[in-house]
Structure 1
Amino acid sequence: MTARRTLVRTLVAAVALAAALPLTGCSAVLDLLPRPAAQPERDETTQEIVEESQADVFALRVGDCMNTVDEEVVSEVPVVPCGEPHDDEVYFDFTLDEGDYPGDDVVLEASDTGCLAEFEAFVGLAYDTSSLDFYAYRPTEESWAAGDRVVSCVIWDPAGQVTGSLAGAAY
Structure 2
Amino acid sequence: MRTAFPSAARPALITTAALGLALIVTGCGGPGADEEVVGTSTPTPAVSASATSIFQLSPGQCFDRPAEDRLYEVAVVPCEVAHDLEMYALFQLDEPSWPGGDRVHELADAGCREQFAAFTGSEPADSDLGYTMYTPSEGSWSEGDRQVQCALELNSGGRMIGSQVGGAGMGGAQVGGS
> TM-score interval w.r.t. the shorter chain?
0.5 to 0.7
3-state SS in 1 of match to 2:136: coil
Query: Number of residue pairs matched?
Result: 121
Cα distance in 1, alignment partners of residues 75 and 139 from structure 2: 22
Q: Which has the higher strand share?
A: 2
Please list the CA deviations of residues 45-83 of structure 1 after superposition, one character each: whole Å capped at 9, or x if unmatched: xxxxx9512211210111111112365x94222221212
The answer for the alignment partner of 2:104 in structure 1 is 107
Question: Max radius of gyration: which structure?
Answer: 1
1:53 aligns to 2:50 (yes or no):
yes
So what's the TM-score if we normalise by structure 2? 0.61
The answer for the alignment partner of 2:80 in structure 1 is 83
Q: What code does the residue aligned with 1:120 have?
A: A
User: What pairs with 1:62-141 in structure 2 (closer than 5 Å)?
Assistant: 62-69=59-66, 74-141=71-138
Q: What code does the residue aligned with 2:87 have?
A: V
So what's the TM-score if we normalise by structure 1? 0.64
The answer for the alignment partner of 2:155 in structure 1 is 158
Q: Deviation of residue 158 (structure 1)? A: 2.7
Any conservation in 1 of the 2:66–2:72 contact (CA below 8 Å)?
no
Cα distance in 2, alignment partners of residues 74 and 99 from structure 1: 27
Q: CA RMSD in A?
A: 2.1
Cα distance in 2, alignment partners of residues 74 and 105 from structure 1: 22
Cα distance in 1, alignment partners of residues 125 and 117 from structure 2: 9
Cα distance in 2, alignment partners of residues 124 and 87 from structure 1: 20
Cα distance in 2, alignment partners of residues 126 and 158 from structure 1: 13
Q: Against the structure 1 CA distance between its residues 146 and 68, is the aligned structure 2 distance closer, same or farther, given a 3 Å change threshold?
A: same
Cα distance in 2, alignment partners of residues 51 and 144 from structure 1: 34
The answer for the alignment partner of 1:5 in structure 2 is none
Gaps of 5+ in 1: 1-49
Q: Which has the higher helix share?
A: 1
Percent identity over the alignment? 41
Any conservation in 1 of the 2:84–2:160 contact (CA below 8 Å)?
yes
Cα distance in 2, alignment partners of residues 145 and 57 from structure 1: 20
Q: What code does the residue aligned with 1:133 have?
A: G
The answer for the alignment partner of 2:165 in structure 1 is 167
Cα distance in 1, alignment partners of residues 55 and 131 from structure 2: 18
